[in-house]
Structure 1
Amino acid sequence: MQVLPATEDDKAEWLPLWRAYLDFYKQALDDEITDLTFARALESGENLNLLVVKSEGRIIGFATYVLHRSSWARDWYCYLEDLFVAEDQRGRGVARALIAAVAEAGKAKGAERLYWVTDEANKTAQALYEKLATKTDFIQFRRDL
């Protein structure tokens, strides 16, 4: 199993996983947004990054993350925005490997903190996350603009 930055050649294999991820969260995005997301993740000037996990020659999971400045810190924070593992590959340490790789990428940039959110109903993911990080008391609010 290898965790690697995505390349243009990975798009065809990443796309079904991305769609499965969106389906899992009952979300629908225009193809234009999906294409833009992938393109941005490959651009060196963007803060959006995409890692893929390859095993036996195929992509079995991915994570996107964003490095950003914080008003609460001297340096960077690292936000794990998306994490998905193919259903038939779960329980093999793929998500743990992705989180570790995102943490290392954040450290390399000088980030002080890695953080993420998950759906309240996603108890399986939470069981892993509670082993890797500290659950906070913050609640996310959202407003469309």
Structure 2
Amino acid sequence: MKIRPACVEDRTAWDPLWKGYQAYYEVDLSATTDNTWDRLMNPKETGPWCLVCEEDDGRLIGFTTYLLHDHTWGAEPRCYLVDLFTKPESRGKRVGRQLIEAVHAEAQKLGCSQTYWLTQHFNEAGRRLYDKVAKETPFIKYQM
């Protein structure tokens, strides 16, 4: 397996992964998919960026997106891992872990003080992985 930045030629292979991600979270982001892809291919200074996991035969089996942002608790930026998805048949093969570690490595290169992400309570499989690679925080999200 190889983790690498997504490129324009990946769009056709990325689309089914993006749709699988939406299905998992029971959302329909089809109205923003083209815009999302365009932003991933033309990130601003702080992102968003996309990494993909590629099998030895070139098939994409997972992806993650991330961005940087400033905050008031320190001078260094923070890295927010926005999306993470692995094809169901590829789960348990360290794809998610490798994608998270790749994002964190990029964040460290960019001088970030931390890498963090959110997940839903029902994401039990994801949370088992997250508990191995990171520390759960006590924060609760509110949204308007």
Q: TM-score, normalised by structure 2?
A: 0.95
Gaps of 5+ in 1: none
Give the CA deviation at 1:113: 0.4
Please name the residue that 1:114 is paired with.
115
Matched, 1:62 2:63: yes
More displaced stretch, 40-49 vs 8-17: 40-49
Name the CA distance, whole Å, in 1 between partners of 2:140 and 2:107. 23
Please name the residue that 2:104 is paired with.
103
Which residues of 2 match residues 2-81 of structure 1 at below 5 A? 2-31=2-31, 33-46=32-45, 47-55=47-55, 56-81=57-82
Matched, 1:89 2:108: no
Matched, 1:125 2:126: yes
> Residues 56-92 of structure 1: CA distance to partner in whole angstroms, max 9, x if unpaired?
2100000000111111111110000000000110000
Equivalent residues, number: 142
More displaced stretch, 129-138 vs 39-48: 39-48
More displaced stretch, 80-89 vs 69-78: 69-78
Kindly tell me: are residues 44 and 22 of structure 1, through their superposed partners in 2, closer, same or farther at Cα, counting changes over 3 Å? closer
**Deviation >6 Å, runs of 4+:** none
Name the CA distance, whole Å, in 2 between partners of 1:30 and 1:98. 24
Q: TM-score, normalised by structure 1?
A: 0.95
Name the CA distance, whole Å, in 2 between partners of 1:135 and 1:117. 10
Give the CA deviation at 1:21: 0.4
Give the CA deviation at 1:44: 4.0
Name the CA distance, whole Å, in 1 between partners of 2:135 and 2:44. 31
Gaps of 5+ in 2: none
Give the CA deviation at 1:7: 0.4
Name the CA distance, whole Å, in 1 between partners of 2:124 and 2:30. 28
